[in-house]
Amino acid sequence: MKVACLAACVVALCAATGCGSASSRSTAGDGSAPTTSAESPKRPLLHLDTNDDKGASEVVLLAEQGTKTAAPRDLYAVFARKQTDEEAQIAPRLLNDYPCAREGSENIAEQARILLHGVDGGQDMLVAVPTTDGSVSVAVYPQGGATCALPTEDGLILAADEQGGSATVYGLVDDGVRSVDVIVDGQAHRAELSENGFAVALHSANGMDVDKLVLRHSDGSVSEFPSG
C-alpha cells in the first residue's frame, strides 16, 4: 500500500474566511462610510499536484456547521444491507490499514463495504467502514489513500488521490443523490456512482483545479459544493 501524505483544506459551507471562500466587504471602525475592497480571486476546492511519484491523498475537511448527526447506516443504504463474503474477508485488513475510530469509538467491521470495483480502470476498489461515533473511513483499496471524516450536507465526504500525473477524486454521498459531476477547470466530469460511493479518474491532471461538485438529487433538485 502506498504511503499517503495528507494535506487538509477547510472549506466553509457558508461565507467565511479560509480556503474556498473570501470576504469582500470591510467596515470602517471610525464611523466613516465603509470601504469596499476588491474581491480576492476564488480559490479552487482542490488544486491537483500530481508530480510526486510517491503519491499523495488530499482531503477536503468540510465545515462543522454542515455536519450530519445521523448514523451512517441511516444516511447511506450501503451500510444497511447484508455484508458480502468478499467484504467480510477484507474487513480485518481495512480496519488495520485505514483505522478511523477515535478514543471511545470503534470501527464497525461487519459494516465494511465495497462501493466500487475497478477504480481508475485498475484493480483498486472504493471501500468504506463506518465507526460507532458516526465517522466513516473511505479508501481506494489496496493501492490508494484514505480519508476519515464525519458526513456533512448531502452526506458528502470528499478526497482525492494524486500520483504519476493522474488523480482520482472520490467520496460518499447520501441516498438522495443520483449523480455527481466534478467540475475541473470549468469542465464537468461525471463520476461513477454506486452504493453511495463516487469516483472519477482524471488523467494528465497535474496543475488542474477542482472547482466544485454538482450534485443532482432524486427529487429533481441540484446542489453545489461549495455553494454560491
pTM of structure: 0.78
Which is higher by pLDDT, 4 or 203? 203
User: Would 34 be classed as within a structural domain?
Assistant: no
Please choose, from the candidates 177, 176, 167, 95, the residue with its C-alpha nearest in 3D space to the C-alpha of residue 128. Answer: 95
Q: How many domains does the chain have?
A: 1
CA atoms within 13 A on the CB side of 111: 22
Q: Is 151 inside a domain boundary?
A: yes
Q: Is residue 113 part of a domain?
A: yes
Q: Is the pLDDT of residue 39 over 70?
A: no
Count of all residues that appear for the chain in the document: 228
Q: Are 19 and 209 within 8 A, CB to CB?
A: no
What tens digit of pLDDT does each residue of 104-148 get? 899 999 999 999 999 977 889 999 999 999 999 999 999 888 999
How confident is the model over 161-218, as pLDDT tens digits?
Answer: 887 778 899 999 999 999 999 999 999 999 999 999 999 999 877 788 899 999 999 9
Q: Is residue 169 part of a domain?
A: yes
* pLDDT exceeds cutoff 70 at 96: yes
Q: Higher pLDDT residue, 194 or 41?
A: 194
In a domain, 102, yes or no: yes
- The pLDDT score that the predictor gives to residue 67 is 57
Higher local confidence (pLDDT), 52 or 211: 211
Average pLDDT score over the chain:
79
Look up the domain containing 200 and give its range: 6-21+42-225
Helix, strand counts (H, E) of the chain: 2, 15
Has residue 30 been placed in a domain?
A: no
